Chain A
Amino acid sequence: MTFIAKPKLHHPTLPQNALCFTRRDYEGKISTLCAGCGHDSISAAIIQACWELNVEPHRLAKLSGIGCSSKTPDYFLGQSHGFNTVHGRMPSVLTGANLANRELLYLGVSGDGDSASIGIGQFVHAIRRGVNMTYIVENNGVYGLTKGQFSATADQGSTSKRGVVNADSPIDLIGLALQLGATYVGRGFSGDKAQLVPLIKGAIAHRGAAFLDVISPCVAFNNHAGSTKSYEYVRAHNEAVNRLDVIPEREEIAVDYPAGSTIEVEQHDGSRLRLHKLAADYDPRDRIAAMNHVQQRQARGEVVTGLLYVDAQAEDLHTHLNTVATPFNRLGAAELSPGSAVLAKINAGFR
């Protein structure tokens, strides 16, 4: 870790967003992770995405579990709400928070240990309920905090730093998310911010369960030959299906692209996702096709990245449950205790 605080001085031309914040205003404390950790790049991508989206820091809550990845919310959005929960229990706490106050943006940050092992039961249910959130798994295939054992997402046949071969089959978080009904599913790589930042922006703007699997090499324990989550392996096997631009509402971009080369998806908030096709005939609006494509490529050892699936008109948990539109903290005594006449009416309904 680094002993000095990052100097407050910034580049003289550092731009401000619509809220008059610079990117530096979205930073948190200095990272205590190992030098070169992919997680730090993801933190930087989240900072960049929130700055570009003009997110008001006090309108966002970041939640995490336990692990290297779950430490990272301390290193970004220092002015936002945060809840570092019990190991693997982030999805439940996030679901509860979301039910209590639907007006905040919810950012769940977890790791492959936190989400694919101890917390997998929590993870699958938050996804299938369609909680309106951005769920980021910082996936390095290894338990870094306990010195490099395989995690549940480590590929079968990949080797540990000491040369031990992993015999277990991996949990495919993307496959699970697609199958369980996540309505925005993408995979990114910590070493490619140009791809990752728009993926995060699109996820934050999405209503419903947005899931991002971000391959994030562990420099200390999983960046060797034989690893399938190293910088070198991911760069060599990265197969991006598309390149994403997130276009805010009311913003016109004059550039013309050849017909058929882009897909445009309008989200419920009016923003548009413009996808530049890299894999021919890949349509991220087709869930079954997406599942097939990802499985086929994965079988060939490729790492499929990009926005894999999006359902722009998805509904979320609040719609399913028909909850009240006002956050609990703004409901007054009159709404919460409407009086004996209303109670009598309700009781009458059960007779």
Chain B
Amino acid sequence: MRPTDIRVPDYFHKVVDCQWACPAHTPVPEYIRLIAAGRYADAYLVNWKSNVFPGVLGRTCDRPCEPACRRGRVEENNGESPEPVAICRLKRVAADNKGDVRARLPRAGKPNGRRVACVGAGPASLTVARDLAPLGYQVTVFDGEAKAGGFIRSQIPRFRLPESVIDEETGYILDLGVEFRAGERIDSLKALLGQGYDAIFVGSGAPRGRDLDLPGRQECAANIHIGIDWLASVSFGHIESIGRRVIVLGGGNTAMDCCRSARRLGGADVKVLVRSGFDEMKASPWEKEDAQHEGIPILDYHVPKAFLHENGRLAAMQFERVRAERDARGRRQLVPTGEPDVVVECDDVLIAVGQENAFPWIERDAGIAFDEWGMPVVDKQTFQSTLPQVFFGGDAAFGPKNIIWAVAHGHEAAVSIDKLLNGEDVHERPPPQVTLLSQKMGIHEWSYDNEVSPEDRHKVPWAPSEQTLGNIKVEVELGFDAQTALKETQRCLNCDVQTVFTDKVCIECDACVDICPMDCISFTANGEEAELRQRLTAPALNTEQALYVSGELKTHRVMVKDEDVCLHCGLCAERCPTGAWDMHKYLIEMTHAGPGCRSKGACREAA
């Protein structure tokens, strides 16, 4: 293998699994250390800069970081069940305890004369506004609702996300001099284009809930509700009750929100019925757990066949039992088991079987190309549509995802808008800024806490269910208290503090090999990667994780470090007599809109 070039920003970025997995590349270990130090406001601002809604995300994020967390792999075969660090819930700790940070937030920039319109006031649009307003852009956000937040406000039940948190975090953005045109639903792109905006960002989400056209659908319409519309009505207080027996159809997170909301609005007997198997459901595992914890059964392999009615009223639903089988090509298929159909009695049905994009307000001759599925043609990197000054992001761009993706799209679209309006090529994206800094403080002292906590993941305490099930506005999770949060922070392995190896000074004494608790380090003859992975101190079987290979050493061997389960404990560096190993903190500054995203020539010009 060729020596690893650690100057490539992606190399060490991938080692910080959580940050790499996060669409917005939030520097997770950095803010976890700040939480450990009790610097909650600083931790909040590190988050705010990259993911814009720490308080919201600390409660609702889909947490792509957690399945990626190295702690989960490290605890494999080292105790009961391997668990990642509770990254998401630590984020909430920062948000809950930060105090007043308003003085530290940016202010509206000196007007640069450019006007940007954002369609929809969801997380994607608000991120664009947050990134552009401090640069002097005059940003106008249009939304059909009275308050900003989009699906954050309408879809997420209050028992998971109190409205005060939404008000606070959308408020931080609107306070940047952003004009919020509430109650103004855009119904014509052409008309908007005619208003002379320099750029338009479409962050209108995927607002249409999919329906199920089954026998009886029309007859029972009064008691059949589309999940996302029903959640919005609950959110805005238009609906305050539901029948005693409720069926929720679907296996995604919306279905979980529907069933738990129904449970709180009078649904004593709520069931979720889903076509697929339990494990294949789209809902996050913890959301399924939360629903089951509240006594809601999830019945899998039930395919809805018909709505049954009596005297013009919904009475029950009929389901076909199926099982999963692989066909000749190995594709998973649901085939009927042949058992008699199941009839489940009910008073109301909530349909949460998916969402669709809908752009009835974009005239097809406005200049924006649509693909065969009715989705706008959008560049995956720049988020630009075929009309150069129109950009798409969030669910509106590539279909339903979640908040953190919308934020990531918003950042990139803001970069594109900033470049476009500065006369630059939007496809030219400057790489992120990276700093690597030694953390050595003394002979065996580091600026980070390198002792590895042996503790298991801590559970977030819940409010008593007699309180939470009786009132839809009572938040279920209480968040970590400061002490538990501190203990949980210590489970973080500080993967951003990188093991950096300098082959020139290595004397091959084996001290690092001997001390490494995880057998990550080998000194061996070089070879092809596949073969080399087999003959290391411990076999490196996780090919997703890189091998760090040094240049040739004096004995013509190379140092090979398997990054997979490194604890970043720094013992290799502590036991190294020559400083060939050192612990360097890796900080990556993602390119956001502003001078940093523009080409160097332009910067010099500006200077």
Do A and B actually bind? yes
A1 proximity list for chain B (CB < 8 A):
444
Question: Once the chains bind, are B444 and A41 in contact (CB under 8 Å)?
Answer: no
Residue of A nearest to B574 (CB): A2
Question: Once the chains bind, are A41 and B76 in contact (CB under 8 Å)?
Answer: no
- Inter-chain CA distance A223–B555, complex, in Å, is 16
A231 proximity list for chain B (CB < 8 A):
507-509
Residue of A nearest to B75 (CB): A9
1/0 contact string of A27-51 vs chain B (CB within 8 Å): 0001100111110110110000000
A36 proximity list for chain B (CB < 8 A):
507, 509, 511, 575-578
- Inter-chain CA distance A4–B445, complex, in Å, is 10
- Inter-chain CA distance A43–B515, complex, in Å, is 11
Residue of A nearest to B77 (CB): A12
Known: A7-B569, A37-B511, A231-B507. A14 touches B538 (CB 8 A): yes
Known: A36-B577, A219-B577. A9 touches B511 (CB 8 A): no
B519 proximity list for chain A (CB < 8 A):
10-11, 14
- Inter-chain CA distance A229–B541, complex, in Å, is 38
1/0 contact string of B238-265 vs chain A (CB within 8 Å): 0000000000000000000000000000
Question: Once the chains bind, are B444 and A232 in contact (CB under 8 Å)?
Answer: no
Tell me whether A59 is interfacial, beta carbon within 8 Å: no
Residue of A nearest to B567 (CB): A7
Tell me whether B600 is interfacial, beta carbon within 8 Å: no
The smallest C-beta distance from B556 to any residue of chain A, in angstroms, reads 11
The smallest C-beta distance from A120 to any residue of chain B, in angstroms, reads 28
A13 in complex: contacting residue of B514, B538, B571, CB < 8 Å: B538
Number of residues from B at the complex interface, CB < 8 A = 38
- Inter-chain CA distance A232–B571, complex, in Å, is 24
The smallest C-beta distance from B547 to any residue of chain A, in angstroms, reads 15
Residue of A nearest to B542 (CB): A12
Tell me whether A193 is interfacial, beta carbon within 8 Å: yes
Query: Which residues in window 248-295 of A have CB below 8 A to B?
Result: none
Known: A35-B575, A35-B577, A235-B554. A9 touches B509 (CB 8 A): no
Residue of B nearest to A48 (CB): B514
Tell me whether B457 is interfacial, beta carbon within 8 Å: no
A41 proximity list for chain B (CB < 8 A):
509-511, 514
Tell me whether A147 is interfacial, beta carbon within 8 Å: no
Known: A35-B574, A235-B554. A10 touches B509 (CB 8 A): no
- Inter-chain CA distance A3–B538, complex, in Å, is 26
Tell me whether A330 is interfacial, beta carbon within 8 Å: no
Question: Once the chains bind, are A44 and B538 in contact (CB under 8 Å)?
Answer: no
Tell me whether B73 is interfacial, beta carbon within 8 Å: yes
Tell me whether B99 is interfacial, beta carbon within 8 Å: no
Residue of A nearest to B579 (CB): A35
- Inter-chain CA distance A9–B601, complex, in Å, is 51
- Inter-chain CA distance A312–B457, complex, in Å, is 55
The smallest C-beta distance from A142 to any residue of chain B, in angstroms, reads 15
Question: Once the chains bind, are A13 and B539 in contact (CB under 8 Å)?
Answer: yes
Interface size class of A (residues with CB under 8 A): 35 or more
1/0 contact string of B573-607 vs chain A (CB within 8 Å): 01111100000000000000000000000000000
Question: Once the chains bind, are B575 and A2 in contact (CB under 8 Å)?
Answer: yes
B75 proximity list for chain A (CB < 8 A):
9
Query: Which residues in window 67-113 of B have CB below 8 A to A?
Result: 73-78
- How many residue pairs at the A-B interface have CB separations less than 8 Å? 107
The smallest C-beta distance from A336 to any residue of chain B, in angstroms, reads 46
The smallest C-beta distance from B293 to any residue of chain A, in angstroms, reads 30
Question: Once the chains bind, are B511 and A35 in contact (CB under 8 Å)?
Answer: yes
Tell me whether B437 is interfacial, beta carbon within 8 Å: no
Question: Once the chains bind, are B451 and A232 in contact (CB under 8 Å)?
Answer: no
Query: Which residues in window 359-378 of B have CB below 8 A to A?
Result: none
Question: Once the chains bind, are A235 and B555 in contact (CB under 8 Å)?
Answer: yes
B569 proximity list for chain A (CB < 8 A):
4, 7
The smallest C-beta distance from A1 to any residue of chain B, in angstroms, reads 7
Residue of B nearest to A44 (CB): B514
Question: Once the chains bind, are B454 and A219 in contact (CB under 8 Å)?
Answer: no
Question: Once the chains bind, are B518 and A9 in contact (CB under 8 Å)?
Answer: yes
B517 in complex: contacting residue of A10, A232, A235, CB < 8 Å: A10
- Inter-chain CA distance A37–B514, complex, in Å, is 11
Question: Once the chains bind, are B517 and A2 in contact (CB under 8 Å)?
Answer: no
The smallest C-beta distance from B273 to any residue of chain A, in angstroms, reads 38
The smallest C-beta distance from B543 to any residue of chain A, in angstroms, reads 14
- Inter-chain CA distance A40–B572, complex, in Å, is 13
Question: Once the chains bind, are A9 and B517 in contact (CB under 8 Å)?
Answer: yes
Residue of A nearest to B509 (CB): A36
Interface residues of B (CB under 8 A from A): 73-78, 444-445, 450-452, 454, 507-511, 513-515, 517-520, 538-539, 541, 554-555, 565, 567, 569, 571, 574-578
Q: What are 28 A-to-B residue pairs whose CB atoms are below 8 Å? A: A4-B451, A4-B569, A6-B571, A7-B454, A7-B567, A8-B454, A8-B517, A9-B518, A9-B567, A10-B78, A11-B520, A11-B538, A12-B74, A12-B76, A12-B78, A13-B77, A24-B517, A34-B577, A35-B577, A37-B577, A38-B509, A40-B515, A190-B509, A190-B510, A191-B508, A217-B509, A219-B507, A219-B509
